[in-house]
Homo-oligomer: A and B are copies of this chain.
Amino acid sequence: MERFFAKGKKSPYYQEIQAAFLTMEKQFEQTLRTDHRVLSKAATHLLKSGGKRLRPALVLLGGRLGQQSDVHQMPLALAMETVHMATLVHDDVVDSAALRRGKPTVKAKWGNEVSVFTGTFLLARAMSMIASYEDAYLNQRTAEVALEMCCGELDQMNSAFQIDESTDTYKKRIKQKTAYLISACCELGAYISGASREIVAALRYYGEAIGMAFQITDDILDYQLNNMTLGKVIGGDIREGIATLPLIYAAKHSSQRERILSIFSKKQKGEEEVREVIGLVSACGGIRYAEDIAEKHIAEAKKAVEIIEDRELREVYHQIADFILTRNQ
């Protein structure tokens, strides 16, 4: 949890959210428990692989905007992280990566079959937790978000190896794939806590903006050579033919467009070729451009939460926005 807060600036909210966070981690294992052996193992494996837990943090934080306790927010917090985990498992069926967060993927350990049903199990589990609130809007919104996520994932597959994608198409795709879920965490966390309509709407907007910045930053990380020294694999998107913002920009503005295109369109690329594309994208300002766009989203997000009267709480939302921009993993 501390990762979301600016160093040295201890918010009065820090301690209580930290406590809620610890409770959540404990409850998570219980939540995903099933008497089905392989499912149970796969779910526990996923849990232990960690993750930032950004989504549940946003739901728990939403409780501060209304009058609700962490106990009330908890099922939604767990459900949202579970939806996220479901998409990770299904993504792995599509991606060829054998590792996620440095650990073997469910697919690598148990195969496509287990991945398909583990992912669906997680989604159904999340829907069941959400149904426990007996709130129509909550059910409707979560089902909608799951639908959008599927469309975003399929769009990404369809647009593989298409370098001349428009920025709008890219934005629509990452909105579906990533931003809507983060937006729903912010919005619904405020909504179930009984926050005002204005606050709920503002949080929905805040969430969408940080969600966009989150995915753009994620895509930028794949282009940062200095990440290699951290032992991280970079250039994965280039290898798989996924055009993200830095590359889309470079395809339009680089004097080396033809060279970039000729490497990018290959199904198999050498390590040197991938590095060359990264160098060319960086040289023409593609990474800087993507960073600018991410910064704009973050600025919009911060503006959206001006409506929050509690200065300290507003500050927490600002710090999370800053964290998203500056994170290096």
A-to-B contact residues, CB < 8 Å: 34, 36-39, 86, 90, 93-94, 112-114, 116-121, 123-125, 127-128, 130-132, 134, 136, 139-140, 142-144, 146-147, 150-151, 153-155, 157-158
- List of B residues within 8 angstroms of A90 by Cβ: 116-117, 120
Q: Are B144 and A128 in contact (CB under 8 A)?
A: yes
Shortest A83–chain B CB gap in Å is: 10
Q: How many copies of this chain?
A: 2
**Closest beta carbon of chain B to A140's beta carbon, Å:** 4
Quick check: A113 and B93 within 8 Å, CB to CB? yes
> Are B150 and A127 in contact, with the CB atoms below 8 A?
no
Complexed CA–CA distance, A124 and B152 (Å): 14
Given A38-B158, A93-B93, A139-B139: A128 and B116 interface contact (C-beta under 8 Å): no
Can you identify 21 A-B contacts, CB atoms within 8 angstroms? A34-B151, A36-B151, A36-B155, A38-B157, A38-B158, A39-B151, A86-B120, A90-B116, A93-B93, A94-B117, A112-B112, A113-B157, A114-B154, A116-B119, A118-B154, A120-B123, A120-B150, A121-B147, A121-B151, A128-B140, A130-B139
Question: Which residues of B have CB within 8 Å of A38?
Answer: 154, 157-158
Residues of chain B contacted by A112 (CB below 8 angstroms)? 93-94, 112
| Bound CA–CA A54/B179 (angstroms) | 38
* Most chain B beta-carbon contacts within 10 A, residue among A121, A125, A147: A147
Please report the C-alpha to C-alpha distance between residue A314 and residue B259 in the assembled complex, in whole angstroms: 73
